[in-house]
Amino acid sequence: MSSPTFLMPLRMHEDARGKLVSVEGASDLPFEIARVYYIIANPGAARGFHAHKSLEQLLICVSGSCTVLVDDGAERREVLLDRPDVGLYDRPLHWLEMRDFSSDCVLLVLASAPHEESDYIRDYDEFLAAAHARGAA
């Protein structure tokens, strides 16, 4: 893929009491965390179907599992998120689609900016044009 979207291991601390996974802003991520949200999807639902112009994100499946389709305009690949100690780092201009949510799935997202509708690309052809202009294909 042209710009790195990759699985990122997270620090997990474990002892007799259990496990603690932590993520600390710019020391663990290439961005400061400006927004946190999570998705609890209904069975059979699909989410996403958009790209961002400048937003960076880390997607962490803290419970259950889901599949994320990542498309950079030249290559499409599916990533299974099923561990709370691994996140999917997503850079701008990647089309994401999330599906196959398990009934216990909670998908946590750490984002580099607050919600801003003007940052979204919701039309796939518009995304492809932006990706090709960036040099993805």
Q: Using one digit for the tens of pLDDT, what is the confidence trace for 81-128?
A: 999 999 999 999 999 999 999 999 999 999 999 999 999 999 999 999
Place 26 in a pLDDT band, splitting at 50, 70 and 90. Answer: confident
Global pTM exceeds 0.85:
yes
DSSP 63-85: ES-EEEEEE-SS-EEEEEE--TT
Which whole number is the average pLDDT over 34-61?
95
Inter-residue contact 51 to 57 (CB < 8 Å)? no
Angle at 12 between CA 8 and CA 13, to 5 degrees: 165
All domains in the chain, ordered by first residue:
6-134 (2.60.120.10)
Report which secondary-structure segment, H or E, holds 130.
helix 124-134
Among candidate residues 12, 42, 20, 45, the one with its CA nearest the CA of residue 104:
42
Query: Which residues are the active-site residues?
Result: 50
User: Is residue 2 predicted with pLDDT exceeding 70?
Assistant: no
